[in-house]
Chain A
Amino acid sequence: MSVLLRLAVLWWLLAPSLPLSAETVRLAMPGNLTGIAEYHRGEPDKAAVLILHGFLATHNFNTVLNLAEALRDEGYTVLTPTLTLGINARRESLPCDAIHTHTLYRDIAEIDRWVVWLTHQTRQPIVLVGHSYGSLELLAWLARHHRPQVRQLITISLSYADNFNPPAVAKRQIREARQAMNRGEDSPHRFTLSYCRNNFVAPPHVYLSYMAWPEHRVIAALKAASIPVEVIMGGADRRFDGHWFKALKATGARLKIIPGASHFFDTGHEFDLHDTILERLERLP
């Protein structure tokens, strides 16, 4: 009787923090901000998957949303956080011309908080899945943090900082940003970053934070990864050329190119993506 009573009290106390199904989770983030994520508790014997959205997007981005649903359907625990990007409880994708005060470092910190939160939710292995720039940020987190419960990193359309821009442009912007910082200027500037063509409005240090992960650093991180890294690329992703695929392949990471798939694995290719990821999850050691 006393054992049952104790269990009931414990369940009552823990209940608020134990999501029973898909729910919105709010989590305190650095800078007195609140992060928001969707969390679905899956089957207890299956792995937990954290899926991170791409550049300036949210967890409601289609690629993320569809993948999360597919995994939930297979019984996996799924957490899809939205990075605050300096906005408390951010709900929408942040436009390029909004003022960006977030940095890659703060993003990594927020990723770590969600990973830690997830380790508190389950004892099952945790697989990190990132899309596009989210893959880069997870790779950057992996380079900085080590959580034993995290067993695998799956990158989808893995990108690097200046993949959209000619190297000369990136070099010039980086130089100008550094010069501005050296001058003590912290006012927003317009940069070309990822798909933000000369309209990424941010102080120089913000820009420089994201530009800190160029191609070679990504390649290096892949090579140095402490856990298995699965790289899934779209065969029709026009953001990258063959050079990037070769470079990736050369890292030793497991590269899966889905023919015909775009950067976002839309139309019928999302099922190939989902099948590929499910296959990896089933083979998770």
Chain B
Amino acid sequence: MTSRGRTLSLRNLLWRFFATGIVIFVILALNLLYQVDRIKSAASETRYEQARQELQQAFDQVERDGHHLLMRLAAWDEVEQQLRTPAYYSYWRKNRIEGSQKLPPYVRDLELYDADGKPLLQRGDRLLPAQRPIQAVYYRFHGGQLIEVRFQAVADRSDPRLILGHVGVAIDVLSAMLALQHFNHLQVDSLAILPFPGQLDDRDAVLQRMRFQPIAELESSPLEKLLKWNLLQFSLLLGAMVFLLYQLLRHYITRPLHELVAYLDGLRAGEITVNDSTPFAPPPIREFATLQESLHRYQLELDQVHMRLDTQNNELLRLVQHDHLTGVWNRRAFDDDWQHLVSIMENHRLSVAYLLFDCNHFKAINDTYGHETGDRVIAVIAEVLQQTLRRGDKLYRMGGDEFASVLINIDSDAVEQVAYRCQKAISVYPFNDLGIREPVSISIGIALTEETTRERLQSLPRQADLAMYNAKRQRRAVCFYMPEMGGDAAILSSNKVNTVLRAINHGDNIETHYQPIFRKDEEIPAYYEALVRLRDRHDELMFPGDIFPIIERHALDADLDRAMFRSIEADLASGLLPRHSGVSINLSAASLSDRHLERHLTALLPHLPYYRIVLEVTETSLISHLQVANANLEKLQRLGFYIALDDFGSGYSSLRYLANMPVDIVKFDITMIQALHESQRSRLIIEHVARLIREAGYDLVAEGIEDEATLDLVYRMGATHAQGYFLGKPQRAAGASAEGQGTGTAGMQEAERRRTPKPSGEETRATKSSFGA
């Protein structure tokens, strides 16, 4: 789920949308105005250029007209008459020129000059020069006017080679322009000339001194105003539309959505229930109404699902925290409660008592009357204890037949009373109803502290465990932990014993590891040897070096074997080992001599078609119970089990026994392999024994292979299989981290060797001890 910080609200989105639209509109409008301005500038330049061209055309027209005028004058009979006989020139000029309409009004002056360039009439106020100049045309600035002075020679009609005289005219250029040219682009009243001294002969220079303004584009200015007005109107319309659209969206979409969200939030917060008839006003949009309906139905269904989930969760929580057999709190609930208790009770100066209950001889009951009866016994004990404890005291099943309870703010007397009340309630319960003839009793270990430091509280379970151990050992019903019972070492020892006992009784802490055994020249293991590992309550792994001394001390060899059978069967069923491989199981002397061995192995029979199951026995155990062992092994061999003689060479190694035993595989003891390196003689003997075994038809397994040289040596010796840390360490499953990392390989293999059980003579004692503890 994304955070709200990265999502946009609809209102925000709308604002952004409208803001973006407005920005785009403003940009477009500005661009439009810019384009209009640019077009105006271009039009202005065009108009100026057109006006300039018009001015030039007008100037050209004035020049042409001036030229034509002079040509007409030069060809005029009366001019010829005046030049030839100027006697009446003054009269003629006054009456025929000045007083008549013969000349255009922009001709400011006219003068006839004789052949020498002298004017026919001497005047003072003339625009024309007193002497005909060299230039036929020139311009002068006079009285604010641009005057074009133009001369034309008049040829003698009798002899055109002779010049009869000259005609000169002074033309007001600007007036002539206005008279001769219709200006469409030039603003006539703007036409002006910059003053200049003297005279100019170059028409371009004159043109450059002319000033003018183009006619303002009549249509552009109103068009621009119209455009701006329309733009303003459109802006207002757009703004109104945006406002209207926003209000519509707000009314028809945003507000219904907000109400819908508020409704959903209310539902989630529990402020509103789906049963409310009108959660909010019906939205005006049909789709929203449909959505609301859908959400409402969905919320209804969701609530129902939540209710079911809550029920299931409660049930699951109950199942998770309660023991399914007895209904009391389980180990998980204890761990949670204990951690919580330790955290809140620290330094509260309230006494805390930890009571640990354990059923005496439960294993014997279980073995004798079966698991079903054993389960019923456990359930009864739990029920009785729960009823006997004080109201509110919790009873936890810690595993197997072990229960615990924690009592707060209680002194030792009260604890003792509770404990004895519990013990008495159990002892008086009619277990005969369950078919149990022996009396059923419990031992109670109590650890009490009034010092509620964390360390003190955390040591209570171990202390209660030690007290329980002492209660069983001293055959007392209730035993308080006393410091003289031992410190951490005793607690640790007690912990290991309990771990082993738990493995035998429940088997849920057995973690069987498997070490591969390779056939010569094959890379895939032929089968695996099952090696026992136990997981204690502190989640630490317990190895054979710690396990077997306890097993031997308590004569639990056969019990451990059976626990291992169950563990291995579970592993095979779960596919932990690859099919068509095999597993090798160590049998103790006690199991070998057990007349019910075949029955104990029944669970493994379904796996024989898929797995090669090897039962490893030692020659010592064989010799100890020769007849029973032979009978068991022959029966098992017929069922499909393989028999391996383990630790060959570590004992008597009588070949006569070997020949009479139903053995398929011989495993050389590690001391035999080590002896290969001792002397030539030893080596020769071992090689010959190996050849003898191979020639007798046995598979020969060399164990303890720790390097490649030894591997080559044993294969040359004739071994068909090899096993050792060099080839593969024991591990839980393929690909898992191998154990023994950081531990010397020799130490680990030595520890494995120590699993060898005691002779069967001690089995009874061990069982009795266990049973009687």
Contacts and interface: CB of A to CB of B under 8 A. Distances in A.
Interface of A: 26, 32-34, 86-92, 94, 97-99, 101, 187-188, 201
Interface stretch (B39-47, B76-84, B378-386, B595-603): B76-84
Interface stretch (B48-56, B90-98, B490-498, B630-638): B90-98
B164 to A, nearest CB: 8
Contacts of A98: 77-78, 81, 92, 96
A94 B273 CA distance: 125
Interface string B54-88: 00000000000000000000010110110011011
Contacts of B78: 87, 98-99
B679 interface: no
A99 B91 contact: yes
Contacts, number: 50
B158 interface: yes
Contacts of B87: 101
Nearest to A190: B95
Nearest to B156: A88
B77 A91 contact: yes
Given A87-B81, A94-B77, A99 B157 contact: no
Nearest to B83: A88
Interface string B122-157: 000000000000000000000000000000000011
A88 B158 contact: yes
A164 to B, nearest CB: 22
Nearest to B164: A88
Interface of B: 75, 77-78, 80-81, 84-85, 87-88, 91-92, 95-96, 100, 156-158
Given A26-B158, A87-B77, A201-B95, 9 more contacts: A32-B158, A34-B158, A87-B80, A98-B81, A98-B96, A99-B96, A187-B88, A188-B88, A188-B91
Most chain B CB inside 10 Å of its own CB: which residue of A26, A88, A187:
A88
Pairs of residues from A and B, 5 with the lowest C-beta to C-beta distance, nearest first: A89-B157, A87-B77, A87-B81, A99-B88, A34-B158
Contacts of B100: 97
B147 to A, nearest CB: 28
Contacts of A33: 158
Contacts of B96: 97-99
Nearest to B89: A99
A97 B78 CA distance: 11
Given A89-B157, A187-B91, A101 B77 contact: no
Contacts of B85: 86, 101
A35 to B, nearest CB: 11
A110 to B, nearest CB: 15
Nearest to A202: B88
Nearest to B78: A98
A201 B100 CA distance: 14
A201 B87 CA distance: 14
A88 B95 contact: no
A94 B77 CA distance: 8
B81 A101 contact: yes
Given A97-B95, A98-B96, A99-B96, A88 B88 contact: no
A201 B85 CA distance: 15
Nearest to A186: B87
A94 B88 CA distance: 16
A88 B91 contact: no
Contacts of A101: 81, 85, 87-88
A92 B76 CA distance: 8
Contacts of A90: 77
A272 to B, nearest CB: 34
